[in-house]
Amino acid sequence: MKTKTFVKWAFGLVAVGLVAFPSAARAQTNLSFLTSKAALRAYAVEQAVSANSSIYSPSQVGNQTTGYGYIIPTNHTSVDIFKGYVGQTFSITILNPQDWVYLNAWVLNSDGDELFYGYSSTQPVLGKGGYSLPAIPSLTLTIASYIPVKFINAVSSAEIMYTDPSTGQTYNYQQLQSYGNKIYFPSDSAGDGFLVVNFTDGTQANYDLKHGGAKTSGTSISQTISSANIDNLLSYTNPVQVVDELQSQGGIGENRTYEVLAGYGVNCPVGYTCVPVSPAFYVWTSEGVVPIGYYYRKAGSLTWQYVQTSDGSAYIPFTASGTWYVVPNWNPLQFSEPAPNIYNGGGKG
């Protein structure tokens, strides 16, 4: 028959050297406590409000109270956090003294967010007075994976832009969880890149975490484009002739579009009907293949007209001034465009 065994767990922790941190409100214009994990650890100490713990075993008896909480003074150091653990005695009743007993510890801020956590485990030992748990020589509290950071305004979204330590260039992004006017900052990311915070009022704040955590508006730069073109489209104004070679390999290559602004070779006298100059087109491929004809239409028209050729050359009979488009027509056994790359959004590779 199993017997109930009453086990007491007594802490015996040693306090370490401490540094006092003032409990001051952080300005939204500066997030210097996010410039390193060490600085963030000090910030988390300042935000601590309660030191909590619980003891557990698989064979614990009934609905006994195994959770404990300690209120940390407003103006405190880490010593005041440790008072919630050092010298405290936590008790638990278990049925099986062969089971392990686990202790969990966590430190919270005023909103109930976790700032630090720790844990330990041990087994009861049998002595002259019955079973007991050995004292824990030291309980280590580790900074939480995510630390809450408050702002004045409500937050809609936030992200970290990570920078490569070698090149200094942005290489990745991480969306952060937010709630109300808080974001949850990953403690391992302190001092890495830029923090971008978007607020529900439409404003944005940016912080350079590599250089002091100061608020930054960014670097304003400008650029001028010298020229522009459309791939495989050639444009001409009043050409007498259009001569062009298309690159091909094994009968495969990109066909071209020719854009022609057609006007009158001379001023058209009043009372006369004039037509633009009909340019001569001669196109071939780098493998010596010539088109069997040319399609052409005036801009705005949906109807393509066609002129046939036997040697690759032809005059295109433009009937009115304006913009015209000309597309060579090829024997598909001699020249054709690459097949679509269906594995890349349908574009051609």
pLDDT digits (tens, 9 = 90+) for 46-75: 999 999 999 999 999 988 888 999 999 999
Residue 71 near residue 38 (C-beta atoms within 8 A):
no
The token pair at 196 is 């971008």
Q: What is the tally of structural domains in the chain?
A: 3
Q: What percent of the chain has pLDDT over 90?
A: 69
Do 139 and 160 form a contact (C-beta atoms < 8 A)? no
pLDDT at 255 over 50: yes
In whole angstroms, give the CA distance from residue 110 to residue 23: 13
At 305 the pLDDT is 97
Q: For strands 293-298 and 280-285, give the pairing.
A: unpaired
Are 324 and 304 contacting, i.e. CB atoms less than 8 angstroms apart? no
Within-domain flag for 121: yes
> Does any domain span residue 173?
yes
| Structure confidence by residue, pLDDT tens digits, 77-103 | 999 999 999 988 888 999 999 999 999
Q: What is the pLDDT of residues 244-253, one digit of tens each?
A: 999 999 999 9
- pLDDT at residue 197 in the model: 96
In a domain, 349, yes or no: no
Instruction: Say if residues 94 and 60 touch (Cβ distance below 8 Å).
Output: yes
Residue 244 phi, psi (nearest 5): -155, 145
In this predicted structure, the answer to whether residue 265 has a pLDDT above a threshold of 70 is no
State the residue range of the domain holding 293. Answer: 233-329
Mark out the alpha helices in the chain (DSSP H runs).
Answer: 37-47, 78-82
Query: pLDDT confidence of 9, banded at 50, 70, 90?
Result: very low
Residues 117 and 171 in one domain: no
Q: Is the model's pLDDT at 24 over the cut of 80?
A: no
Residue 222 lies in a domain: no
Q: Are residues 140 and 158 in the same domain?
A: no
Q: Which long-range contacts (CB under 8 A, 24 or more apart) does 295-299 make?
A: 295/326, 295/327, 295/328, 295/329, 296/324, 296/325, 296/326, 296/327, 297/324, 297/325, 298/322, 298/323, 298/324, 299/323, 299/324, 299/325
27 in the same domain as 124: yes
Same domain, 138 and 9: yes
Judge contact between 107 and 115, C-beta under 8 A.
yes
Q: Is beta strand 233-237 parallel, antiparallel or unpaired with respect to 257-262?
A: parallel
Q: Does one domain contain both 37 and 80?
A: yes
Q: What is the mean pLDDT of the chain?
A: 88
Q: Are residues 116 and 179 in the same domain?
A: no
pLDDT of 20 > 70? The answer is: no
Q: Is the pTM of this model over 0.75?
A: no
